[in-house]
Structure 1
Amino acid sequence: MRALLTCRPALPQLYAVAPLAWAFRADGWQVLVATRDDFAPEVNRMGLPTLATNENGLAALVGDWRPDLVIAQAPTPMPCRVPLIEYRWDPAATPAGTEADLVIDACPPLLRAEDNCPVLPVRHIALGLATSLETRLLDQPLVYVGGELPVGALEKLGAEFVYDREQRYRIPPDTDVVVHDGDSLLAVNALALGVPQCVLPRTTTAARLTERLSACGVAVSLQRDVADAERVAERVSTLLTFRDCRRRAVELAREIAARPAPTEVVRMVARRFSVRVPGPARDSGDEA
Structure 2
Amino acid sequence: MRLIFTSLASYGHLYPLLPLAVAARSAGHDVVFATAADFHPTVEKAGLEPVDVGLTIQDAFMAQYDGDLRKRNEVSPAELEATIARVFSRVLPDRFIADLDAVFAKQLPDLVVYEIGNPGGAFAAMKAGIPAMGHGFGRVATGGIADGIRKAVEEHAIELGITGEERFSWGNPFVDICPPSVQSPEFLAGARRLPLRPVGWSEPGDLPAGVAGRSRPLVYLTLGTTPMSQAHLLTSAISALAALDADVLVATGPSVDVASLGEVPANVRLEAWVPQSELLPHVDLVVHHGGSGTTLGAFTAGVPQLVLPQGADQFSNAEAVAAAGVGDQLVGDAVTTEAVREKAQRLLTDSAVADAVRALAAEVAAMPSPDEVAAQLPDYV
TM-score of the two chains, using structure 2 as the length reference: 0.67
Question: How many residues are paired up?
Answer: 273
Q: State the Cα distance separating 1:232 from its structure 2 match.
A: 0.8
> Deviation at 1:19?
0.1
Task: Tell me which amino acid in the other structure corresponds to 2:289.
Answer: D
Q: Contact conserved, 1:85 with 1:102, CA < 8 A, in 2?
A: yes
- The sequence identity of aligned pairs, in percent, is 30
Label 1:48 to 1:204 Cα distance change in 2 as closer, same or farther (>3 A).
closer
Partners of 2:102 and 2:312 lie apart in 1 by 36
Taking a change above 3 Å as real, the CA distance of residues 2 and 64 of structure 1, as seen in their structure-2 partners, is: same
- Partners of 2:12 and 2:137 within 8 A in 1: no
The residue type equivalent to 1:110 in the other structure is S
Q: Which has the higher contact order (CA 8 A, sep 6+)?
A: 1
Residues 241-288 of structure 1 show CA distances to partners (whole Å, capped at 9, x for unaligned) of: 212212211211111111111111111121343xxxxxxxxxxxxxxx
The residue that corresponds to 1:170 in the other structure is 275
Aligned to 1:243: 351
Partner of 1:282: none
1:219-256 deviation line (CA, Å, top 9, x unaligned):
11112313122221111110112122122112111111
Q: Which residue number in structure 1 is paired with residue 106 of structure 2?
A: 64
Query: Post-superposition shift, 1:184?
Result: 1.6
- Residue aligned with 1:192, SS: helix
Q: 1:140 aligns with which of 196, 216, 224?
A: 216
Query: Residue by residue, what CA displacement relative to the aligned partner does 1:173-232 show, whole Å, maximum 9, x if unpaired?
Result: 210000011212111111111101001111264222211211100111112313122221
The correspondence of residues 127-276 of structure 1 with structure 2, limited to 5 A, is 127-128=201-202, 132-136=207-211, 137-147=213-223, 148=230, 149=234, 150-151=236-237, 152-166=239-253, 170-171=275-276, 172=279, 173-203=281-311, 205-273=313-381
Structure 1 position 59, deviation (Å): 2.2
In structure 1, C-alpha distance between the alignment counterparts of 2:206 and 2:218, rounded to whole Å: 14
Do the aligned partners of 2:6 and 2:114 also contact (CA within 8 Å) in 1? yes
Runs of 4+ in 1 over 6 A off after TM superposition: none
After TM superposition, the structure 1 = structure 2 runs for residues 74-153 of structure 1, keeping only pairs within 5 Å, are 74=119, 75-76=122-123, 77-94=125-142, 96-99=167-170, 101-113=172-184, 114-115=186-187, 116-128=190-202, 132-136=207-211, 137-147=213-223, 148=230, 149=234, 150-151=236-237, 152-153=239-240
Q: Work out whether residues 16 and 89 of structure 1, in 8 Å CA contact, stay in contact via their aligned partners in 2.
A: yes
Which structure: greater helix fraction?
2
SS at match of 1:128: coil
Is the Cα–Cα contact under 8 Å of residues 217 and 284 in structure 2 kept in the other structure? yes
User: Residue 69 of structure 1 contacts residue 85 of structure 1 at CA under 8 Å; is this kept in 2?
Assistant: yes
Distance change (3 Å), C-alpha of 1:269 and 1:83: same
Kindly provide the CA deviation profile for residues 33-92 of structure 1, in whole angstroms up to 9, marking residues without a partner as x. Answer: 100122222222222210101212112212211111110013214333321111113215
Following the alignment from structure 2 to structure 1, what is the Cα–Cα distance between the partners of residues 298 and 114? 25
Of 151-160 and 222-231, the range deviating more from structure 2:
222-231
TM-score normalised over the length of structure 1: 0.88
Kept in 2, the 8 Å contact 1:3–1:32? The answer is yes
Query: How many Å separate the matches in 2 of 1:97 and 1:153?
Result: 39
Q: What is aligned with 2:73? A: none
Describe the SS at the equivalent of 2:31.
Answer: strand
1:61 partner amino acid: V
Deviation readout 1:114-141 (Å, 9 max, x if unpaired): 1212211111101228754432342210
Matches of 2:195 and 2:99 in 1, distance apart?
29
User: SS of 2:38's equivalent?
Assistant: helix
- Does the Cα contact within 8 Å between 2:182 and 2:320 map onto a contact in 1? yes
Identify if the C-alpha distance between structure 1 residues 38 and 22 changes in structure 2 by more than 3 Å, giving closer, same or farther: same
Unaligned runs of 5+ in 1: 274-288
User: RMSD of aligned C-alpha atoms?
Assistant: 2.0
